[in-house]
């Protein structure tokens, strides 16, 4: 399979107050048709620099970026015609134009004929529930609806590569759920490729096929969420509810195995975090033999946010200070 996006050996430095800052250090990855890849990292890890480099907004020091096989340094316009992007914190649309005017305008920039642009604009307005705001200038809309207009402008020319930097900013819970389902469907049906950054870990976990984790400008991990979980957080939390109250040797054995026990009126709740299924099996057998019927069992794995923090800490313990900011936003 030929990747829609190829990034190889990307390097980018900045000069700040007489010092040279290495924003991106030898990054390499690819995104295939029909694939959504998330980019995570503490603030200043190089996420936005990477996206801007792919957009052609940052000149690379060294490296290679191809979109549909087109080298963005030598065939930038051809590559950009295949790309749609929304960048965080930027005015991605014109505030004194209406949603429809914005979408039609950006479609024209990417070569879509006006009649077709108008049809596509209406489709996007319908899909994103922007009909009631058609006659309002974008500056009058809520932040969430401004974000939806920006995403529509990025997608109207039906790009094969979609770059989204913090796409859920300003969206409420229902908007995020709808956006997630729509973007996933869009990528699956058109076999587009999407690269997305977000501090909304639930969104990333729900929508992405793979996750790239950046730290200090370097790729420290790239894999599926499940594989990351197996590598960095193999333990699960087992929550059992059983009839009655374990006592005597049964209770002692459970406590020795690090089970926490909370007694209610007629039942008990037993909780253990472990990667050893034998410990669970032994507990269930002991409870059954002593007449404590299992009422309910719940098994949970670590969320992506926990895996992310664990991965960063494993790479470098001084990162802990940066990690606490990773849910807050902002990128240099």
Number of domains in the chain: 2
Mean pLDDT of all residues belonging to the chain: 89
CATH number of the domain that residue 111 is part of: 3.40.50.300
Task: Give pLDDT, residue 323.
Answer: 44
Q: Which domain holds residue 153?
A: 5-230
Looking at the fold, whether 211 and 243 belong to one and the same domain comes out as: no
Residue pair 127/81 in contact (Cβ under 8 Å)? The answer is: no
Query: What does the H/E/C string look like for 146-172?
Result: HHHHHHHHHHCCCCCEEEEECCCCCCC
CB atoms inside a 10 Å sphere around CB 212: 23
- Does a structural domain hold residue 323? no
Residue of 175, 180, 178, 181 lying closest to 201 (CA atoms): 180
Asked, for residue 282, whether it belongs to a domain, the answer is yes
- Residue 42 counted as domain residue: yes
Where is 235: in which H helix or E strand?
A: none
> pLDDT for 259-284, tens place per residue?
899 999 899 999 988 877 888 888 88
Please tell me the number of Cα atoms within 13 Å of 55 on its side-chain side.
18
- Residues 152 and 291 both lie in one domain: no
Could you tell me if 64 and 82 lie in one domain?
yes
- Give the residue ranges of the chain where pLDDT is below 50: 318-332
Strand partners, 60: none
Nearest alpha-carbon partner for 167 in 206, 131, 140: 206
How far, in Å, are 36, 62, 214, 277 from residue 27 at the CA level?
A: 18, 10, 9, 38
The per-residue pLDDT for 83 is 96
Beta-ladder partners of 61: none
pLDDT of residue 317: 55
Distance in angstroms (rounded) separating the CA atoms of residues 19 and 327: 28
CB-facing half-sphere around the CA of 178: CA atoms within 13 A: 10
6, 31, 166, 188, 212 from 192: Cα distances, Å? 14, 10, 19, 7, 18
pTM of the predicted structure, to 2 decimals? 0.80
């Amino acid at each position: 399979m030929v990747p829609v996006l190829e990034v190889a050996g990307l390097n980018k430095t900045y000069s700040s107050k007489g010092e040279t800052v290495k924003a991106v250090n030898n990054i390499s990855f690819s995104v295939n048709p029909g694939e959504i890849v998330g980019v995570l990292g503490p603030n200043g890890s190089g996420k936005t620099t990477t996206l801007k480099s792919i957009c052609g907004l940052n000149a690379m020091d060294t490296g290679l970026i191809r979109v549909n096989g087109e080298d963005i340094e030598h065939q930038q316009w051809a590559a950009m015609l295949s790309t749609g992007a929304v960048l965080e914190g930027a005015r991605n649309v014109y505030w004194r134009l209406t949603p429809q005017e914005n979408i039609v305008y950006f479609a024209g920039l990417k070569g879509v004929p006006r009649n077709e642009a108008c049809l596509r604009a209406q489709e996007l307005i319908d899909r994103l529930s922007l009909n009631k705001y058609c006659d309002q200038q974008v500056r009058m809309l809520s932040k969430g609806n401004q974000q939806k207009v920006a995403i529509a402008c990025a997608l109207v020319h039906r790009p094969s590569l979609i770059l989204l930097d913090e796409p859920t900013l300003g969206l409420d819970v229902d908007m995020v759920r709808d956006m997630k389902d729509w973007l996933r469907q869009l990528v699956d049906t058109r076999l587009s490729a999407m690269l997305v950054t977000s501090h909304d870990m639930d969104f990333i976990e729900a929508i992405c096929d793979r996750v790239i984790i950046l730290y200090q400008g370097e790729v420290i991990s790239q894999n599926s969420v499940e594989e990351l979980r197996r590598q960095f957080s193999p333990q699960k939390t087992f929550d059992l509810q059983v009839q009655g109250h374990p006592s005597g040797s049964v209770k002692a054995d459970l406590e020795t195995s690090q089970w926490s026990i909370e007694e209610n009126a007629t039942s008990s709740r037993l909780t253990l975090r472990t990667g050893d299924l034998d410990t669970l099996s032994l507990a269930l057998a002991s409870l059954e033999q002593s007449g404590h019927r299992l009422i309910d069992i719940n098994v949970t794995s670590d969320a992506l946010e926990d895996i992310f923090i664990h991965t960063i800490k494993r790479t470098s313990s001084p990162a802990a200070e940066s990690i606490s900011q990773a849910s807050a936003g902002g990128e240099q």
